[in-house]
Amino acid sequence: MRATLAIVLLGAFALGALPRHQSYAQDAAHGPASEGKRVFQRANCVGCHKWHGAGGGGYGGDALSLRATQLDRDQIIETVTCGRPGTGMPYFQRGAYDNEAHPCYGMGRQELGKDVPVEATTFLRPTEVGAVADYVVTEVKGKGEPTYAECIAFFGEGSRVCNVYKSPTAEGAQPSKQGG
């Protein structure tokens, strides 16, 4: 009996039916957007778009705001998969501009020349790209200025990086000392 249970559990783990580590188990409990957040972090989208998605300067240049984007889910998927020609937005699909059967934006390397996007340091599977798009559409797009609550939701309770979003009058905040 014990050996049978072990084989069943090992099989479920190998097939992905069980979480591979604790944080994924916690993320899965909070819905598909949490998986997208995990991929957003792992793929270093935060390097350019920042944790809050408002963009700004990064290693790829000035990233556009995902909070203000007008792109729909399918357009976000295409952008993550193929990058943005002529910009610093990398592509996250291995061989994106080498696959003649499924070219990005209907073009290959030859048509784009020097405008081929840079290759990302991390490649993503289509399900991961979809998860990022879901995360952007449900948790980032259309939001106003980043808030303390959003920062805590991203980094976790007690993160000091979020203190810049905490107002002195916010619940639990300590008033700043004036003059020393």
Confidence of residue 16 (pLDDT cuts 50, 70, 90): very low
> For residues 83 and 107, is the Cβ–Cβ distance under 8 A?
no
pLDDT in tens, 31-60: 667 899 999 999 999 999 999 999 987 665
Question: Which SS3 state, helix, strand or coil, does residue 104 take?
Answer: strand
- 13-17, 137-141, 164-168: which is most confident: 137-141
Residue 162 is predicted with a pLDDT of: 93
Residue 82 is predicted with a pLDDT of: 96
Residue 98 is predicted with a pLDDT of: 87
Residue 56 is predicted with a pLDDT of: 81
> For residues 21 and 106, is the Cβ–Cβ distance under 8 A?
no
* Residue, of 55 and 16, whose pLDDT is higher: 55
> For residues 109 and 116, is the Cβ–Cβ distance under 8 A?
yes
| Euclidean distance between the first and the last CA atom of the chain, given in angstroms as a whole number | 69
> For residues 151 and 162, is the Cβ–Cβ distance under 8 A?
yes
Confidence of residue 121 (pLDDT cuts 50, 70, 90): very high
Mean pLDDT, the chain, rounded, equals 78
Distance CA 45, CA 89 (A): 10
Confidence of residue 19 (pLDDT cuts 50, 70, 90): very low
Beta bridge partners of 56: 63
> Is the pLDDT assigned to residue 123 strictly greater than 90?
yes
Q: What is the CA radius of gyration of the chain?
A: 20
Domain ranges of the chain: 33-143
Q: What is the pTM of this model?
A: 0.73
Per-residue pLDDT averaged across 65-73, rounded? 96
> For residues 60 and 47, is the Cβ–Cβ distance under 8 A?
yes
Fold of 33-143: Cytochrome Bc1 Complex; Chain D, domain 2 (1.10.760)
> For residues 170 and 148, is the Cβ–Cβ distance under 8 A?
yes
